[in-house]
Chain A
């Protein structure tokens, strides 16, 4: 049966409110692993100042964060800790894999102590190529993640 009402949109409250608000209040974890972390800092500092303009505020504890930017090489010694940090973050949570190391191990792909990509241990939403990616690339990744959240494409 089809009900026709003028000027009415049917949606879930979740979709209407939270998915529209979430992209603009992503709080990333203060979490740097290697070289890419320096570019991540540069993205947030003078000249680029990209995080606060996007409503992003770095939190030092995973309990208050909902975005993890994996900036750098994950070594096998660090891998359990990265996974634990991810598990400590409350839902819904998102992951950006920044740089070649977080994508696939990068220039250290054949090392005995490097994890070949963040997606081996945690789910990744956006991959940012570059070694290290420029701040512009990271900003682009953030915009892409915002779009993904807004359109409800992230299902957990």
Chain B
């Protein structure tokens, strides 16, 4: 393992220089800046009009995953920021495309990456960057007709009455009759949500039906858009930590982790060993809780209320462990920049070991409920098949991608914290259907248990909080993109620090469920409407994270 690692590192060293050299020789002075940020991170700065050739070249050299598109308002200029990850090279390249602030227009990347669709709509909504050639450039998180772009520095908000007046826009269900070659096709528009028991929060799906068949789905999101990214600009780095919990509220530790890793990278702080191990244990416990919640909610959506009860029963065991360390049941706010809030209480590790013993027994019951259950199998097998090529193109990550047979996991491909020290399998399934997505999550619980066990065995003694972190955190000027494997997929925090302020200049959350949901219409159309609910549940969405 160690040999492999050193080899791959040496390989990356060459590739990295090679890529920057090639870029420089190919684009010459159109490249404003090209540098290596750190291991596995490159940064390229260009003018807005040069975007397409540069991205085309990068896509040709293996950067197949569009991780994120965001933007920053620098008051004198705008920047569109692109993060591309190459699965084959194991590198991330960040492209900053500079735009004039009075007319921020840039070419759309939708022809190259279909994942760009939702990202660009969000960037348009939040920052007013116009993407030329985008097929459907309209508001995403804020309602239609809203004026202004919240993440611009000169934004002023709308009064409440404005929202209440534009109330009745959406509740029509028009029936349309179209002439087809074979005869008449009657389509009906059905609004599902924002208040619907199976939307897992406040999503709205505008579904066009022809009979029982789903012809078109348009997810409308933003009903839980709380403006977290804007709030971050008004909070200090420590004050923002509790808000990260509340984005993906099913797995708050992993959100904490992604954020503190980003700030630590900005500041160059090293975390004590014990804290690193405890972070891994807590994140994996969180992953188990998240997947149990998924199983419970998935069961409930299928109409199996028993499963809901079982899932919650096991989840309560994890919550107990979390409560012992943090005092909270759901939103822990336990990680700190530079370590943990405090050490775990005495006897906690034994409690975790006990949990490791109990959970597999309980899970063996689940196998009987699900995999020997004909109704369950019939409802899930072959439903909502997502092809691996399409999944990669749509920026799908996490269990959903692995269910399509693509063995990609940030914990292994781009190791953060101390994940490179543990031995675990990247769980994959070949089928790509709803059942596969369920199976991947179910089997991942066992892998998480393995990681926890190894971490408990190696858990060192010592401090849990780095003494180097000052009370007032003012990181040096810079940008950081920290990715982790959250239970739902690749979660990343992009933070820009201006070097003067105690709060982030810009903070962007790349949420996994956001991109995974964008794939949902692609695989759920053409199937019948009862299957749509199952397909939707299999995304494992949390609206807090999608809308932020």
Name A's B-contacting residues (CB within 8 A).
29-35, 37-39, 41-42, 45-47, 60, 62, 72-73, 75-81, 83-85, 107-108, 110-115, 120-121, 131-132, 134
Contacts known (A42-B316, A47-B313); A79 close to B226, Cβ less than 8 A: no
User: Do A77 and B225 touch (CB < 8 A)?
Assistant: yes
User: Do B167 and A84 touch (CB < 8 A)?
Assistant: yes
User: Do B223 and A77 touch (CB < 8 A)?
Assistant: yes
6 residue pairs bridging A and B, Cβ less than 8 Å apart: A38-B250, A38-B330, A39-B329, A42-B312, A78-B223, A114-B226
Does B543 belong to the interface (CB within 8 Å)? Answer: yes
Residues of A within 8 A of B164 (CB): 79-80, 83, 121
Q: Tell me, in angstroms, the Cα distance from A38 to B143 when the chains sit together.
A: 26
Does B219 belong to the interface (CB within 8 Å)? Answer: no
Of A46, A84, A112, A131, which contacts B150 at CB under 8 A?
A112
Q: Tell me, in angstroms, the Cα distance from A29 to B243 when the chains sit together.
A: 27
Q: Tell me, in angstroms, the Cα distance from A75 to B226 when the chains sit together.
A: 6
User: Do A77 and B142 touch (CB < 8 A)?
Assistant: yes
Q: Tell me, in angstroms, the Cα distance from A73 to B543 when the chains sit together.
A: 11
Q: Tell me, in angstroms, the Cα distance from A37 to B195 when the chains sit together.
A: 13
Of A33, A47, A62, A111, which contacts B231 at CB under 8 A?
A111
Does B201 belong to the interface (CB within 8 Å)? Answer: yes
Contacts known (A47-B313, A79-B163, A83-B164); A34 close to B246, Cβ less than 8 A: yes
Residues of A within 8 A of B167 (CB): 80, 83-84
User: Do A46 and B163 touch (CB < 8 A)?
Assistant: no
Distance (Å) between the CB of A91 and the closest chain B CB? 20
* B contacts with A: majority SS: loop
Q: Tell me, in angstroms, the Cα distance from A110 to B166 when the chains sit together.
A: 23
User: Do B224 and A75 touch (CB < 8 A)?
Assistant: yes
Does B194 belong to the interface (CB within 8 Å)? Answer: yes
User: Do A112 and B544 touch (CB < 8 A)?
Assistant: no
Residues of B within 8 A of A77 (CB): 142-143, 163, 222-223, 225
- 0/1 string, B304-323, CB within 8 A of A gives 1: 00001110110110010000
User: Do A108 and B197 touch (CB < 8 A)?
Assistant: no
Tell me the B296-341 residues at the A interface (CB within 8 Å).
296, 308-310, 312-313, 315-316, 319, 329-331
Residues of B within 8 A of A34 (CB): 201, 224, 246, 249, 543-544
Tell me the B136-173 residues at the A interface (CB within 8 Å).
142-143, 150, 155, 157-158, 160, 163-164, 166-167
Of B201, B227, B309, B312, which contacts A113 at CB under 8 A?
B227
Does B62 belong to the interface (CB within 8 Å)? Answer: no
Q: Tell me, in angstroms, the Cα distance from A88 to B249 when the chains sit together.
A: 29
Distance (Å) between the CB of B249 and the closest chain A CB? 4
Residues of B within 8 A of A134 (CB): 329
Of A29, A47, A107, which contacts B246 at CB under 8 A?
A107
Residues of A within 8 A of B547 (CB): 75
Name B's A-contacting residues (CB within 8 A).
142-143, 150, 155, 157-158, 160, 163-164, 166-167, 194-197, 201-202, 222-228, 230-231, 234, 242-243, 246, 249-250, 293, 296, 308-310, 312-313, 315-316, 319, 329-331, 543-544, 547
Q: Which residue of A lies closest to B544 (CB)?
A: A34
Contacts known (A34-B249, A79-B160); A46 close to B202, Cβ less than 8 A: no
User: Do A32 and B201 touch (CB < 8 A)?
Assistant: yes
Residues of B within 8 A of A76 (CB): 158, 160, 163
Q: Tell me, in angstroms, the Cα distance from A121 to B242 when the chains sit together.
A: 27
Q: Tell me, in angstroms, the Cα distance from A31 to B193 when the chains sit together.
A: 11
User: Do B243 and A75 touch (CB < 8 A)?
Assistant: no
Q: Which residue of B lies closest to A42 (CB)?
A: B312
User: Do A132 and B331 touch (CB < 8 A)?
Assistant: yes
Distance (Å) between the CB of B286 and the closest chain A CB? 13
Contacts known (A38-B249, A77-B223, A132-B331); A115 close to B543, Cβ less than 8 A: no
Q: Tell me, in angstroms, the Cα distance from A31 to B155 when the chains sit together.
A: 32
Distance (Å) between the CB of B308 and the closest chain A CB? 6
Q: Which residue of A lies closest to B313 (CB)?
A: A46
Residues of A within 8 A of B226 (CB): 73, 75, 108, 111, 113-114
Residues of A within 8 A of B224 (CB): 33-34, 72-73, 75, 78
User: Do A46 and B316 touch (CB < 8 A)?
Assistant: yes
Of B230, B231, B309, which contacts A45 at CB under 8 A?
B309
Contacts known (A46-B313, A120-B160); A111 close to B143, Cβ less than 8 A: no
Residues of B within 8 A of A35 (CB): 246, 249, 330-331, 544
User: Do A107 and B242 touch (CB < 8 A)?
Assistant: yes
Q: Tell me, in angstroms, the Cα distance from A115 to B158 when the chains sit together.
A: 12
Of B195, B312, B330, which contacts A81 at CB under 8 A?
B195
Residues of A within 8 A of B309 (CB): 45-46
Known: A77-B163, A114-B227. 6 other contacts (CB 8 A): A33-B201, A35-B246, A75-B223, A78-B223, A81-B202, A112-B230
Q: Tell me, in angstroms, the Cα distance from A113 to B226 when the chains sit together.
A: 6
Distance (Å) between the CB of A135 and the closest chain B CB? 8
Q: Tell me, in angstroms, the Cα distance from A78 to B143 when the chains sit together.
A: 10
Residues of A within 8 A of B163 (CB): 76-77, 79-80
Q: Tell me, in angstroms, the Cα distance from A107 to B249 when the chains sit together.
A: 14
Q: Tell me, in angstroms, the Cα distance from A108 to B48 when the chains sit together.
A: 34
Distance (Å) between the CB of A138 and the closest chain B CB? 12
Residues of B within 8 A of A39 (CB): 329-330
Most B C-beta atoms less than 10 A away, residue of A31, A113, A114, A115: A113
Q: Tell me, in angstroms, the Cα distance from A29 to B196 when the chains sit together.
A: 10
User: Do B227 and A108 touch (CB < 8 A)?
Assistant: yes
Residues of A within 8 A of B308 (CB): 45
Distance (Å) between the CB of B145 and the closest chain A CB? 11
Residues of A within 8 A of B195 (CB): 29, 31, 62, 81, 85
Distance (Å) between the CB of A103 and the closest chain B CB? 15
Distance (Å) between the CB of B204 and the closest chain A CB? 9
Q: Tell me, in angstroms, the Cα distance from A76 to B225 when the chains sit together.
A: 9
Closest 8 CB pairs of A and B: A45-B312, A35-B249, A112-B157, A80-B167, A111-B227, A46-B313, A76-B163, A78-B223
Residues of A within 8 A of B293 (CB): 38
Of B157, B194, B225, B243, which contacts A107 at CB under 8 A?
B243
Q: Tell me, in angstroms, the Cα distance from A76 to B143 when the chains sit together.
A: 9
Q: Which residue of A lies closest to B193 (CB)?
A: A81
Distance (Å) between the CB of B36 and the closest chain A CB? 37
